[in-house]
């Protein structure tokens, strides 16, 4: 993997380089205002979430954006919370009363 793949700038000697590929003013790898690339640091995944038309579901799915600010070990808690919420929302849809049953006809006697 090279510097372009990771988003990090690297000077010819392998040290982190400043903007434009130049080593920073304090020596190799010390660029002003440049933060070292950390592959374990939280980073947005860039996943686009479209509206579903159900406000409850949309709110649950919006919670997924919280993982953009967490390290990978914090993702599971958010995923489990969203899954639990979606399951509750789906269960609530099944529990809603439907239209009333038609009244039984007094002549509809079956033996």
Global pTM value: 0.50
**78 or 107, higher pLDDT:** 78
In 10 A of CB 18, how many CB atoms?
A: 19
Judge whether 46 and 28 are in contact, CB under 8 Å: no
Greatest mean pLDDT range, 15-24, 79-88, 91-100 = 79-88
pLDDT tens column, 16-66: 444 444 444 444 555 566 778 887 778 787 778 889 998 999 999 998 888
Calpha distance 35→42 (Å, rounded): 14
Determine contact, residues 42/68, Cβ cutoff 8 Å: yes
Domain boundaries, the chain: 14-42, 44-95
Give the bridge partners for 10, in sequence order: 16
d(CA 3, CA 18): 12
Q: What is the C-alpha to C-alpha distance for residues 57 and 84, in angstroms, rounded to an integer?
A: 11
User: What's phi and psi for 26, nearest 5 deg?
Assistant: -90, 10
């Amino acid at each position: 993997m090279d510097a372009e793949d990771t988003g990090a700038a690297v000077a010819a000697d392998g040290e982190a380089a400043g903007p434009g590929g130049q080593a920073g003013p304090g020596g190799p790898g010390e660029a002003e205002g440049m933060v070292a690339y950390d592959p374990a640091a939280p980073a947005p995944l860039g996943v686009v979430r479209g509206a579903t038309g159900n406000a409850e579901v949309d709110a649950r799915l919006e919670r997924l954006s919280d993982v953009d600010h967490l390290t990978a070990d914090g993702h599971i808690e958010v995923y489990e919370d969203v899954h639990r919420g979606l399951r509750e929302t789906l269960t609530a849809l099944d529990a809603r009363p439907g239209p009333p049953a038609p009244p039984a006809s007094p002549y509809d006697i079956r033996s």
